[in-house]
Amino acid sequence: MKRKMKTTKSAAKRFKITGSGKIVAYGAGHSHHLEKKGMKRKKRQLKKRVVEREDLKNIKALLPYLK
């Protein structure tokens, strides 16, 4: 009997799927050392952004039942 692959839960919490099938995630570096970063930079990092095409293969391996 074939075993089901497990979803990596940490990746499932970090990445979301849009209606068109793109993968979005928050920008890196928005959780600490915020006092030395400018407000414009912090706001830009807090926004969700579409994941780069080069990273999709690795993310899809972590999320096998991604639609």
DSSP string for 47-65: SEEEPPGGGHHHHHHH-TT
66 has a pLDDT exceeding 80:
no
Average pLDDT over residues 18-24: 91
| Domain map (residue ranges) of the chain | 9-62
Give the CA count within 13 Å in the CB-facing half-sphere of 50. Answer: 8
Average pLDDT over residues 50-58: 92
Give the pLDDT confidence score for residue 2 in this predicted structure.
Answer: 83
- Which CATH class for the 9-62 domain? few secondary structures
